[in-house]
Amino acid sequence: MKSKFKPVFNFIFGPVLSRRLGVSLGVDLMPHKTCSLDCVYCECGKTTHLTIRRKEYTPLDQIRKELDLFLSSHPHLDSITFSGSGEPTLHLGIGEIIKYLKTDYPEYSLSVLTNGTLFHSSEVRDAVAQADRIIASFDAASDSVFRAINRPHPFLDLHEMVEGLAALKKECSNQLWMEIFIVPGHNDDDRELKRIQEVMDIIKPHQIHINSLDRPGTEAWVQPMTQEVFKRIQACMHNVRVVDDAKHATLTDGFTGDLKDIILSTLQRRPCTAADISKITGADVNNINQHLDILLKNGEVVKKKMPRGTFFSRV
Ligand code: SF4
């Protein structure tokens, strides 16, 4: 694959092609794995730093430098997306980075993938007010289910979360999409689904997405949602659609940079099959497999068989 330049990016990754967001450049503001939740299905692994404390976890000047380096050639992107190794709204500087991008690169649409736990704070709502799209997860309307699936920081309160999300929707002009991750046996019974729908009626998001296990999560017992469960969800809830971001299309330009670094950087954020990486990067799958074999031998990645194929994760 032709390499245009070889910078080592620490805080930005991709771009990847997502069904929901198009060509999306990731911005990872958080050190692995710092979050206010410790979800059983998390693709990034167990939360090692469970916190609700907001601070500058990663240096803003370096994040700006990396963004300038990547964006100075004004590449085609459909979204610059805050996501990655933890909860991005925990970063005290997320508002500043959003403002800087809106000022210096106004042509780009900004998305924030968040667990929605901190929006009861008006400061956090203000910080994301200029983003074009907030995609917030919400998996449980009952406290016991919330604690079983999301294993929250002990100071988090489900009712405050709902109030915060409803306030965000009222105050901000951006799109609010809610994402519900189905963990069979926990939040897929009719009672819980109806409660979740009641919460959606309060928040009134623009879209509701249903997600389920597609790649290895933190806990091995979490299973994917079946078609039968999805039919029940459709009966209990309205206007839901299934997330199918796993079905990436191919990026025509491909990645810029060293393929091994790109594979490692991608696997650091989420487990992928060789075919996923090939689709994301545009590189030949045999070439990807050769790199993965070496990385496996060196102990830098591990593999796990799943229904959709063999997934590789960074050690
Ligand atoms: S899925 Fe998101 S909210 Fe849940 S633990 Fe992982 S990073 Fe945090």
Q: Where are the domains of the chain?
A: 12-257, 259-315
Taking only the tens place, the pLDDT of each residue in 137-159 is 999 999 999 999 999 999 999 99
DSSP code at position 49: E
Taking only the tens place, the pLDDT of each residue in 101-140 is 999 999 999 999 999 999 999 999 999 999 999 999 999 9
Strand pairing class (22-27; 12-18): antiparallel
Closest CA to 176 of 137, 212, 211: 137
Strand pairing class (175-181; 207-211): parallel
* Mean pLDDT of all residues belonging to the chain: 89
Q: Which residues line ligand 1 (CB under 6 A)?
A: 35, 37-39, 42, 44, 47, 86-87, 115
The CA angle 95-96-100, to the nearest 5 degrees, is 120
For tokens 């991750």, the residue is 181
Taking only the tens place, the pLDDT of each residue in 161-188 is 999 999 999 998 899 999 999 999 999 9
Whole-prediction pTM: 0.84
Instruction: Name the residue of 87, 118, 213, 214 to mutate for ligand 1: max ligand atoms within 8 A of Cβ.
Output: 87
Please check whether residue 220 is in contact with residue 45, taking contact to mean a CB–CB distance below 8 angstroms. no
Strand pairing class (49-50; 34-35): parallel
Closest residue CA from atom 1 of ligand 1: 42
Instruction: Name the residue of 28, 32, 37, 40 to mutate for ligand 1: max ligand atoms within 8 A of Cβ.
Output: 37
Closest residue CA from atom 4 of ligand 1: 39
Ligand 1 centroid – CA 181 distance (Å): 11
Query: Residues of the chain with pLDDT > 70: what percent?
Result: 93
Ligand 1 centroid – CA 85 distance (Å): 8
User: Could you identify the atom of ligand 1 that is nearest to the CA of residue 86?
Assistant: 7
Residue type, 277: I
Tell the CATH topology of 259-315.
Arc Repressor Mutant, subunit A (1.10.10)
The CA angle 283-211-215, to the nearest 5 degrees, is 45
Tell the CATH topology of 12-257.
TIM Barrel (3.20.20)
Taking only the tens place, the pLDDT of each residue in 201-224 is 999 999 999 999 988 888 999 999
Please check whether residue 124 is in contact with residue 167, taking contact to mean a CB–CB distance below 8 angstroms. no
Taking only the tens place, the pLDDT of each residue in 260-308 is 888 888 888 788 889 888 877 778 888 888 899 999 888 889 998 888 8
Residue 252 has pLDDT above 50, yes or no: no
User: Could you identify the atom of ligand 1 that is nearest to the CA of residue 150?
Assistant: 4
